[in-house]
Chain A
Amino acid sequence: MRNSIDKHRRLLLKQLACLPLASGVSVLTGSKPAQAMTCGTGKSLVCIFMAGGADSFNMFVPGGGNSFAQYQNSRRDLAVDEANLINVSDAAQGAFGFHDLMPGFASLYEANRMAVVSNTGTLIRPTTKSDYLATNSLPESLFAHNTQQKLWQTGAGIVSGSSAFGWGGAISEHAGECNGNIAVAPAFSIGGSTDWLTSASANYISLNADVAVQRMFGHANISDWIPPRRLSQVGRSLNALIDVGQASGNSQVMQEISGAIGRATTATASLHAALLNNPLPQMRYSGGNRLARQLHLVARLIASREELGMEQQVFFVRMGGWDTHTNQLQRQPALFTALNEAVTVFQATIDGLNLAPSVTSFTASDFGRTLTSNGNGTDHGWGGHNFVFGGAVDGGRIVGDIPNYAVENNDDDAGDNRGQFAGRIIPQISVNQYAATLARWMGVSEDALNAALPDLANFSQRDLGFMT
């Protein structure tokens, strides 16, 4: 971790951590006095990224009447049958249904522990259909996987803009300050490299849930194979080679790879011990559920929070397979089942650890998918629904307006200027607002938020109010 705050500052931060949490931050605006950073007593934030563009329009569906008919008419043969919905309701917007392969989501919603954040996506500022047709301030390279992933994860409108860093990275920097001077970085990706956690000053640890976290042999006198009389000298040289690689006169590439190896050495040593003590065998799931495997490792790291000396943690997990251009009806059941199982057993495990109030999880994806069919699948869309859950979520409701699903005269549709319906839904909620709401729950200051999310200023509602 390359955290540059000095000792004095850390002391102050530790004292700040003892102050009561800023409360009542929901549905508030810039008129509120600037909020200072707060740490609280243990908080973990988990991003579940559905890579490829998840078809959330088939996860959470209008539950009856005209809306369902419009949805069905847009989706045609890809529509979920009304009989396959688990009915729930929203006080303001009426009846809805979760796909019946996602009963765990429905249960969390019914228990007011999950909120549906409707029609969210990359936006630089509030955007209408006429803005879209006139290409006014549109996010760069709409509908392209990697670009939209990057914009989702950075909150930026353009890839090459000043915000090269992820909003998860801004939260990690905050978490790092709360954690003070410890060996382990505040953030973890269990889903590979991610823009979401990039930051100028806080690194993240990237772990593979398919392989046990191992200590690196040769370091710290650990090896069953290097003869004992040589082992300590080998370890000394291993460290020396990392050190000489990090020397300031070296090339950046040498410094970076050396730093990465050094961090791997430190992190795996700490994590190996903590994870051994927190196996959490009570979290059970199908063997092939890779998302659940990732969340299992997350749960073990959350259970290790105190042991690792961490006040706050930030996690990124990734589930692939969502780019359902073809055979969508055949592929969705497995995707929905796995997502539902992973989320359900993870939350149950967190509940069992009595950590629910301090752990919040949320979904994100490249984009939503088209409402229209390409024959047996869907293509790259824009807005989509997302799901926030945990003990601190003000759930059982929909945040934001459910979009219009009609194929004709649909102002929510990014169709072409001949009036052709595309079923690419223009988001009504910006990633910036979604990010800010979650970051504020973690205690990130308003100044830090403004720096991390410059486009947040373009939206009147800075906090979507789904966190208690």
Chain B
Amino acid sequence: MIRFKASFPMHKLLLTTLVVGLLSACSDRGVVVADNNNGDGTTGGTTGTATGATTGGTGTTTGATTGTATGNTDAATNLDPAAVFAARFLNQATFGATEQSINDFVALGNPGAWIDDQFSQPTSVLSPYTRTNSNGSGTDALHEIWWNNALGEPDQLRQRVSYALSQIFVVSDVDAGLANAQYGMADYYDMLSRNAFGNFRTLLEEVTLHPVMGAYLSMVLNERPNVEQNIRPDENYARELLQLFSIGLFNLNTRGEPIPLGNPQPSYSQETIEQFARVFTGWNYPTARRWNDTNITGDFFIGRMVANEAFHDTTSKTLLNGAVSSAGWTAQQDLSFALDNVFNHPNVGPFISKQLIQRLVTSNPSPEYVERITLTFNNNGNGVRGDMRSVVRAILLDDEARNGHLNNPEYGKIREPSIKLAHIWRALDGMPGPAANGVHSTANFTLERSDEMFGQAVLQSGSVFNFYLPNNPLSAGSSLVSPEMQIMSESNLANTHNNYHNQVYRFNNRSDLTDDNPRVTTINLEGLTALARNPNNLLDWYNLVLFAGSMPDNVRDELLRYMRTLGNTNEDSFAKAQDTLFLILVSPSFHIQR
């Protein structure tokens, strides 16, 4: 069978991928890995439409070398390289690979075509459900629909990018104020989703003028100065726009390195902040009837803020790189000029590109990788700057995204806890509990409180600095960064561990939930139990679907050793599936996306 490891010539990949499709059609759970010696009755296949892993947009990527051609004799190398290629890609571009998504990807045969298909998917949104299921103050509805979308809706790439953007253009309802603005929070997130594949300049303006951002960083109702009263404009939005949303603290080269190397220079001064603060004056909630309207009605957290020229500072401002605005401009004219000024700063490409790479692919991209994406940001090939489709495509198809793991042991990232949970539920048919009304919940925490469990929940960062910093060191003094490591606290690790314990042992498809919690999402262990009749098949499944081929050999050996402590009855198969799944979900290696 072609599942056995080998150095695959490219022309063999066709055959390999066919088996995947056939197997998934034959087995209970569409098992992607072949059975070594019993069970699924597959003998290979000769029909189908797969074309195997193909080159990506850079012309340099192939799936042929992915993970398996190492001469390693471990059974892990049974995996089909095209399927591993698919799984790795999907873990970067979706909320986690599943058998189905791996099969579909392989059948499509081309990551570029997969991305094109994703660009054409309708945008999943939070607002309609939130408006129906929340009175505006209950925060649970937004989380319910966010999770349902992440788990089930087809526009996975857009959602993954939106989630990344929500961690750059941070707003949060954990502090007072926005918790009661759930329709606005949903509208803000939907705005990010709608613009995820648009142009960065448009995104920047939509973010700047959204009333939720206006409230979060206090640009709303910001007034021109009053010299007699010692009143200056509010510097909050001006500062975070520059520091966090666009250019960062230091001048950068196209590789994302602070320059001059070794003696980096600030990209702006306090004076610059004060000038931008004057730009962002005169904006009010969309439905306000007058400045300082103390009884605003209607959807005042939806849409765009509106200008009130009487409160706008019309003096000339000196912005980045010495650009000077004209005195007498309106609030919108000033804002457009200032956002153009920011958007065209050379830092934006490397600053934003590197963070998107960190969210999707790897914590420590090479400067060359950052530079390639920067150049795409700066010019998509048709003279357009800030084209997000091109940026996202370039990030995912880059040779370092596809093959960087082959020669760099530090490649990859700690998985974001919420994406890890989504992956588990997606891969193991997570179903809302019988009394949950279609709403997902973990065993130990409802989803709007998942930040208490693992330090992350959508739109619930503790501050505008997100759940973690892009430059959080992997360990004290390390030159490597790991943003996600910042939330790997003892509490979070212990709470997550215990949640997965309960998920696997209490909330699976065999559980009787009548005496337990019937609102908790259950996972399905039947497929794993069937595979567990041959431990290597079970491990191959884990290795492909959960690890994208990166399960370390010593982990595999330990799990095999564990399974040998059990017998060969059907109950033992269930036990093997259950125990190994628990061991994997809480294991160090499953924390890492390679």
- A and B: interacting chains: yes
B231 touches A374 (CB 8 A): yes
A165 to B554, CA, bound (A): 34
- A144-B239, A192-B462 given as contacts; is B501 within 8 A of A223 (CB)? yes
A245 touches B229 (CB 8 A): no
Chain B positions 41 through 63: 1 when the CB is less than 8 Å from some CB of chain A, otherwise 0: 00000000000000000000000
- B488 proximal to A (CB < 8 A): yes
A211 to B472, CA, bound (A): 25
A257 touches B501 (CB 8 A): no
A462 to B67, CA, bound (A): 57
- B562 proximal to A (CB < 8 A): yes
Closest to B487 in A: A193
Shortest A27–chain B CB gap in Å is 33
A263 to B490, CA, bound (A): 7
Stretch at the interface among A199-207, A345-353, A357-365: A199-207
A213 touches B558 (CB 8 A): no
B129: A residues at CB distance < 8 A: none
B289: A residues at CB distance < 8 A: none
- B2 proximal to A (CB < 8 A): no
B477 touches A213 (CB 8 A): no
Stretch at the interface among B74-82, B194-202, B381-389, B583-591: B583-591
B176: A residues at CB distance < 8 A: 321, 331, 334
Closest to A231 in B: B579
A227 to B505, CA, bound (A): 9
- B71 proximal to A (CB < 8 A): no
A257 touches B222 (CB 8 A): no
A208 touches B582 (CB 8 A): no
Between B410, B473, B497, the greatest number of chain A beta carbons within 10 A of the residue's beta carbon is seen for B497
A227 to B175, CA, bound (A): 43
Shortest B175–chain A CB gap in Å is 6
A176 to B491, CA, bound (A): 21
Shortest B492–chain A CB gap in Å is 7
Quick one: which of A233, A257, A370, A377 contacts B591, CB cutoff 8 A? A257
B473: A residues at CB distance < 8 A: 164
- A52-B463, A375-B234, A380-B235 given as contacts; is B475 within 8 A of A237 (CB)? no
B488 touches A218 (CB 8 A): no
Between B234, B453, B476, the greatest number of chain A beta carbons within 10 A of the residue's beta carbon is seen for B476
Stretch at the interface among B339-347, B351-359, B478-486: B478-486
A374 touches B232 (CB 8 A): yes
- B552 proximal to A (CB < 8 A): yes
- A74 proximal to B (CB < 8 A): yes
- A211-B452, A320-B463, A380-B235 given as contacts; is B575 within 8 A of A244 (CB)? no
Closest to B474 in A: A256
The residues in B between 265 and 320 inclusive whose CB is less than 8 angstroms from any CB of A are 266, 270-271, 273, 277
A223: B residues at CB distance < 8 A: 501, 505
A173 to B480, CA, bound (A): 23
Quick one: which of A144, A247, A375 contacts B231, CB cutoff 8 A? A375
Q: How many A-B residue pairs have CB under 8 A?
A: 235
Shortest A168–chain B CB gap in Å is 12
- A372 proximal to B (CB < 8 A): yes
A254 to B249, CA, bound (A): 31
Q: How big is the B interface, by class?
A: 35 or more
B249: A residues at CB distance < 8 A: 141, 144, 147
A198 to B485, CA, bound (A): 13
B412 touches A253 (CB 8 A): yes
B490 touches A207 (CB 8 A): yes
A242 touches B231 (CB 8 A): no
Closest to B409 in A: A251
B587: A residues at CB distance < 8 A: 241, 245
Shortest B23–chain A CB gap in Å is 29
A146 to B409, CA, bound (A): 30
Quick one: which of B233, B264, B270, B588 contacts A261, CB cutoff 8 A? B588
Task: Give the size of the chain A interface in residues (CB under 8 angstroms).
Answer: 86
- A284 proximal to B (CB < 8 A): no
- B493 proximal to A (CB < 8 A): yes
- A332 proximal to B (CB < 8 A): no
Quick one: which of A214, A244, A326 contacts B555, CB cutoff 8 A? A244
A74 touches B230 (CB 8 A): yes
Quick one: which of A73, A74, A145, A213 contacts B463, CB cutoff 8 A? A145
- A76-B231, A252-B410, A256-B474 given as contacts; is B218 within 8 A of A377 (CB)? yes
- B178 proximal to A (CB < 8 A): no
- A40 proximal to B (CB < 8 A): no
- B524 proximal to A (CB < 8 A): no
- A306 proximal to B (CB < 8 A): no
- B565 proximal to A (CB < 8 A): yes
Shortest A291–chain B CB gap in Å is 13
A372 to B472, CA, bound (A): 33
Between B234, B490, B491, B502, the greatest number of chain A beta carbons within 10 A of the residue's beta carbon is seen for B490
Quick one: which of A51, A214, A230, A407 contacts B494, CB cutoff 8 A? A214
Shortest A69–chain B CB gap in Å is 14
A208 to B488, CA, bound (A): 12
- B489 proximal to A (CB < 8 A): yes
Chain B positions 209 through 234: 1 when the CB is less than 8 Å from some CB of chain A, otherwise 0: 00000000110011100100111111
B474 touches A253 (CB 8 A): yes
B502 touches A211 (CB 8 A): no
B592: A residues at CB distance < 8 A: 253-254, 257
A268 touches B480 (CB 8 A): no
- A210-B452, A223-B505, A373-B231 given as contacts; is B498 within 8 A of A217 (CB)? yes
Shortest A71–chain B CB gap in Å is 12
- A237-B562, A251-B409, A253-B414 given as contacts; is B588 within 8 A of A258 (CB)? yes
A321 to B179, CA, bound (A): 14
- A234-B583, A380-B235, A421-B230 given as contacts; is B218 within 8 A of A208 (CB)? no
B491 touches A213 (CB 8 A): yes
A218 touches B491 (CB 8 A): no
B463: A residues at CB distance < 8 A: 51-52, 145, 320, 323
A254 touches B488 (CB 8 A): no
B232 touches A379 (CB 8 A): yes
Quick one: which of B239, B452, B488, B494 contacts A268, CB cutoff 8 A? B494
Quick one: which of A189, A198, A237, A407 contacts B559, CB cutoff 8 A? A237
A450 to B482, CA, bound (A): 29
A207 touches B266 (CB 8 A): no
B231: A residues at CB distance < 8 A: 76, 372-375
Shortest A419–chain B CB gap in Å is 13
Between A198, A213, A247, A376, the greatest number of chain B beta carbons within 10 A of the residue's beta carbon is seen for A376
- A238 proximal to B (CB < 8 A): yes
Quick one: which of B175, B472, B485, B555 contacts A320, CB cutoff 8 A? B175
- A76-B231, A225-B501 given as contacts; is B222 within 8 A of A374 (CB)? yes
Shortest A77–chain B CB gap in Å is 8
A144: B residues at CB distance < 8 A: 239, 243, 249
- B506 proximal to A (CB < 8 A): yes
A372 to B235, CA, bound (A): 12
- A451 proximal to B (CB < 8 A): no
Closest to B270 in A: A143
Chain B positions 409 through 433: 1 when the CB is less than 8 Å from some CB of chain A, otherwise 0: 1101110000000000000000000
B575: A residues at CB distance < 8 A: 227, 230
Shortest A189–chain B CB gap in Å is 8
14 CB < 8 A contacts A-B: A160-B264, A192-B489, A208-B495, A225-B501, A237-B579, A240-B561, A241-B588, A253-B363, A257-B488, A257-B592, A325-B235, A370-B232, A374-B232, A379-B236
Given A234-B582, A241-B558, A325-B234, 8 additional A-B pairs, CB 8 A:
A147-B249, A164-B477, A200-B476, A237-B579, A244-B558, A247-B554, A261-B586, A323-B236
